[in-house]
Amino acid sequence: MNKIKFSILGLIALLLSTTILISCSKDEDTQNPVATNNESLLLKKAYGFESISYKNDKSNNLMFKSSTNLDRLTLNKSSKSQDLDLSNVTQINWSKEKISYLIPFINNSRKSLVITINSNEIGKPLNFETAEIVENTINSLNGNGEIILTNISGSFKKTFEKGKLINEVNIYGKKSPFRKCFDDAYDAICDGFIGCASWYSSPLPALTAIAYCGATT
C-alpha cells in the first residue's frame, strides 16, 4: 500500500475514531456497515475512493443472483450464495475503474463478503473465487475479539485486546500481497489507543481497508 496513503490514515485516525465512537450503533452485534456523511468523507480521504453507498438492494440483480464459487473460499465448502443478504449491499466506487461490494451474511451479522471487480465486468455473474470472507467478532465497546479473513489463497486469524493486535495465527495457506496490504493498513491506522478505537468501534474501516487492498493488489 502506498506510504502516502498510510500517512494520511495516521493523521485522520483521531478524528475518525471520535466520529465513529459518537455515531456507532448501540447494537454491537451488527457487522453491516453504515456511516454518517462525515465518516464517509474521512474514509474517502483515507482510501481514495470516489463514492460509497449503503443498503443497496441487489436481490433481484442477475449479476448477484447468478454468482458462482462462493463455496471454494472455505475448506468445508459450507458457504453458499443463498447465505448472502443481497438486500443490504454496500458499494464502493474506486477511481481506477474498480467497484467493491460489501455483502453481509444472513445468519451471521458479524460475517461479510468483500469482492472487487473491474467496471467492464458489470452485468456478468460475480465470481466469488476472487472475494474475501471477513468474520469480525471484535467487541465495539472494548476492542476485544478476532478478525478472521479467508480467501482462495488461505485463511488467517488476528486476535485483538483493547484494539491492539496481540496474536496472529495462520489457519492455512501462505501470506499473500493482499495480507501484507491488510497488515499495513492496520499498522497505519492503529497508532495507539485512539487509532485502534477507530479501527474496532465500527466494522466499516476494516471492511473498507479490505476492499482497498482488493482494488490495489
Task: Give the per-residue pLDDT at 146.
Answer: 93
- pLDDT, one tens digit per residue, over 109-124 is 899 999 999 999 999 9
Q: Report pTM.
A: 0.82
% of the chain exceeding 90 in pLDDT: 35
The percent of residues above 70 in pLDDT, for the chain, comes to 77
The pLDDT mean for the chain works out to 80
Give the C-alpha separation, 179 to 214, whole Å. 10
Lowest mean pLDDT among 37-41, 95-99, 181-185: 37-41
Of residues 73 and 102, which shows the higher confidence score?
A: 102
> Is pLDDT above 50 for 139?
yes
| Interval 7-58: pLDDT, tens | 444 444 444 444 444 444 444 445 556 666 777 887 888 788 999 999 999 9
Tell me whether residue 164 is exposed, middle or buried, using C-beta atoms within 10 angstroms of its C-beta: 0 to 12, 13 to 18, 19 or more: middle
Given this model, what pLDDT does residue 101 score? Answer: 97
pLDDT of residue 61 exceeding 90, the answer is yes
- The predicted pLDDT at position 141 comes to 86
Q: Select from 43, 217, 215 the least CA-distant residue to 117.
A: 215
72 contacts 64 by C-beta, under 8 angstroms: no
Residue 177 has what pLDDT?
A: 84
Does residue 152 surpass a pLDDT of 90? Answer: no
Higher pLDDT, 30 or 98: 98
Cα distance between residue 35 and residue 37, in whole Å: 7
- Average pLDDT value for residue range 121-145: 91
Of 71-75, 91-95, 149-153, the one with minimum mean pLDDT is 71-75
Give pLDDT, residue 184.
84
Q: DSSP assignment, residue 176?
A: -
Among the residues of the chain, which ranges form H helices? 3-23, 37-47, 62-65, 177-189, 193-200, 204-216
**pLDDT for residue 87 is more than 80:** yes
Sign of the C-alpha dihedral computed for residues 162, 165, 171 and 177 taken in this order: positive
At residue 22, the pLDDT reads: 41
- Measuring CA to CA, how many Å separate 130 from each of 42, 89, 133, 188, 211? 27, 17, 10, 25, 12
